[in-house]
Structure 1
Amino acid sequence: MAAVTRPIAVVGPTATGKSDLGLDLAERLGGEIVNIDAMQQYRGMDIGTAKLPPRERRDIAHHQLDVLDVTETATVARYQAAAVADVEAIRARGAVPVIVGGSMMYIQALLDEWAIPDTDPVVRAKWESLLADGGVSAVHEALRAVDPQAAATILPTDGRRMVRALEVVELTGAPFAASAPQIGTPRWDTVIVGADRETGLLDERIRLRTDRMFDAGLVDEVTALLGHGLRDGLTARRAIGYAQTLAHLDGEYDLAEARERTFIGTRRYVRRQRSWFRRDRRVHWVDAARADLVEHVLALVEARAMD
């Protein structure tokens, strides 16, 4: 197996067990982990993102964890440049990059060499202001006026993505879809493994994960992050679990409802991830519940190495 040099990406819905699988693969192949979960880039956002603590990383190097303050905006472009450099450096060391996570646009940016349109602070601020003042309905109406296709395909509750679409349309003069990456051979000929579980069982894992986060001190974590400017960040404060906990701290609803809304939000996000990844025919899907999961994936990787 040591002869395998191409990267392996372990993708799929939240709570399927990607982190453990990624660690097992890195341990067996002599690899290093490259995180591709947008919210795990934030320092201090540990409990609510299910970030593996250092003591559980098996002395395996991890990249793109804890690289942003909560006041900074997580962007696909920044991640793409940094993660490409990480993967290239890992390969230059003769190790195997094991890319692990479920942030959909980040994965496309990294593996499909997405030429991401520039951002403009003034244009972005204009649409962010519309979102803040008028809510998602206002930005959805604005997007529908200039790009009906984007308005029809982006979830009407996804305010941040609609803001980005409006920005791209204004800056490029072309529909948002025109900047989408072309799906072909993944960069570095990466082997893409999709981890999933039966829906009912995955829902149980999401429920357990949510309860563990709150029991482990998510409210205390969010309270501490307020002192580091969490409310000032455009992306960090909107993360699932953090947004609901902030609302709880603001008195919008009690702790039980914060838990329930976090569970529902995570489950809804999982459905989106599953729909997104299932459209990609390059993904080799595996049942993350199978007893021989690691051996099964290693056999798949070895077969691809012989292509």
Structure 2
Amino acid sequence: MTIVLVGPTASGKSALALALAERLTAAGRPAEIVNGDSMLVYRGMDIGTAKPTAAELAVVPHHLVDIYDIDKTATVAEFQGLARAVIDDCRARSVLPIVVGGSALYLRAIVDDFRFPGTDPELRAELEAELERHGPEPLHRRLAEIDPPAAELIEPRNGRRVVRALEVIALTGEPYQAALPDHVAALPDVRLIGLDVDRETLNRRIADRVHAMWRQGFVEEVRQLAGRGLRDGVTASRALGYRQVLAYLDGEIDEQRAMTDTITATRRFARRQDGWFRRDPRIRWLPYDAAELVPRALTVAAVEA
């Protein structure tokens, strides 16, 4: 069996994953956590990604956390292979893997029969040159014209994924959304659990998290990462919060604006996350604040604890 915990950012997924793993392990059913988030893979990106603390990482084994330097360009296809290998290893050791994350594309690539269309180096180079000249927004507007569902799926400033969507559409002659699989699991015996948070509460939790990030030294974290090449990282530099603080450090906006923009962008992203996950009929939704959340999650997963 594999448990997969999903939901928007700041909904409490990581805390639930840790509680489940501790409860199961204490009951003689060893469990380990598999990261399914696209940004926790980067070393040094700790505060802004709400990465589990060193103490939390020591309590329960976590996989696929801090595996890349910040200048590494991560791909969904590569992550899929790594995650499935970790899950296979857990099962071979009679360990229950608990996959947790808010990156819908990464999670679906792990769980579902998800295969990646090929690439055309010449076409890719043309699109990337256009991205370099004009930025991601014009390309995203083009994507919205020819494939609105794909444009809804992809963050407008995520130029890399916009380019990939346009490339797939050009190569296949079909909407990018058509290249995504139906909700058919490639892994056996998967139990998907989502944390349900009302919009007002989630907005408040996101604002609280961002304010806490600033108190914990987020600006200094980004400053140090910038000195280690964060701006050169195609994927890492676009992470929520990091790109806003980079804009502040570059003198484009003031610090208060960086914080406000981070809150706004995170709330917008959370709405998209929730929309993505709601389309999956397999997910069993639980109230994030249920008094018996851990037992209820174990019941939904049908695991003895």
TM-score (norm 1): 0.90
1:240-269 deviation digits (Å, cap 9, x = unpaired):
000000000011111111111000011000
Deviation at 1:300, TM superposition (A): 1.6
Equivalent residue in structure 2 for 1:15, among 4, 7, 10 = 10
| Corresponding residue of 1:66 | 66
Shift of 1:75: 1.0
Q: Given that residues 136 and 156 in structure 1 are in contact (C-alpha distance below 8 angstroms), is that contact kept between their aligned partners in structure 2?
A: no
Quick one: percent identity of the two aligned structures? 46
1:269, 1:144 → 2: CA distance?
A: 17
Change (3 A) 1:213 1:152: closer
- Write out aligned runs for 1:186-265 (5 A): 187-265=187-265
Q: Distance in 1 between matches of 2:266 and 2:197?
A: 15
| 8 Å contact from structure 1 (residues 23, 57) kept in 2 | no
Q: 1:12 to 1:144 in 2, by over 3 A?
A: closer
Cα 1:67–1:152 shift into 2, 3 Å: closer
> Comparing 116-125 with 190-199, which one deviates more in the overlay?
116-125
Is the 2:4–2:191 Cα contact (8 Å) retained in structure 1? yes
SS in 2 for 1:23: helix
- CA offsets, 1:145-185, max 9 Å, x none? 7x445666455724333211112233444432332112124
1:38 is matched with: 38
Q: In structure 2, the residue corresponding to 1:33 is in which secondary structure? A: strand
Return the alpha-carbon distance in structure 2 between the equivalents of residues 151 and 184 of structure 1: 19
Aligned to 2:27: none
Matched, 1:94 2:89: no
Partner residue, 1:3: none
Aligned counterparts, 1:22-171, within 5 A: 22-29=17-24, 30-120=30-120, 122-140=122-140, 142-143=142-143, 147-148=146-147, 153-154=152-153, 157-158=156-157, 159-171=159-171
Give distance in 2, aligned partners of 1:122 and 1:37.
30
1:39 aligned counterpart, secondary structure: coil
Cα distance in 1, alignment partners of residues 152 and 269 from structure 2? 15
Supply the distance in 2 between the matched residues of 1:201 and 1:220 (Cα, whole angstroms). 29
Query: What is the root-mean-square deviation of aligned Cα atoms in Å?
Result: 2.0
TM superposition shift of 1:199? 1.6
In 2, distance between residues paired with 1:93 and 1:21?
23
1:57 CA displacement: 2.8
Residue 156 of structure 2 aligns to which amino acid in structure 1?
T
Equivalents in 2 of 1:199, 1:59: separation in Å? 32
Task: Determine if contact 1:137/1:156 at 8 Å carries over to the other structure.
Answer: no
TM-score (norm 2): 0.91
Q: Which runs of 5+ in 2 are unaligned?
A: 25-29
**Equivalent residues of 1:154, 1:162 under 8 A apart:** no
Contact 1:123–1:167 (8 Å) recurs in 2: yes
Q: Residues of 2 paired with 1:120 and 1:226: CA distance?
A: 32
Say which SS state the counterpart of residue 193 (structure 1) adopts. Answer: strand
Equivalent position amino acid for 2:181 in 1: P
> Structure 1: any 5+ residue segments left out of the alignment?
1-5
1:72-100 deviations in whole A, cap 9, x for unaligned? 11211010000000000000000000000
Give the deviation of 1:69 after TM superposition: 1.1
- Tell me the SS of whatever aligns to 1:286: strand
Preserved contact between residue 150 and residue 165 of structure 1 (Cα < 8 Å): no
Residue pair 2:32, 2:62 contacting (<8 A) in 1 also: yes
Letter in 2 for 1:297: A
Matched AA of 2:95? A
Deviations along 1:1-37, one digit per CA (max 9) or x if unpaired, are: xxxxx01000010001100100111112220100001
Q: CA–CA distance in 2 between the matches of 1:201 and 1:48? A: 20
* Alpha carbons of structure 1 residues 80 and 175: separation in structure 2 relative to 1, 3 Å: same
Aligned AA (1:280) = D
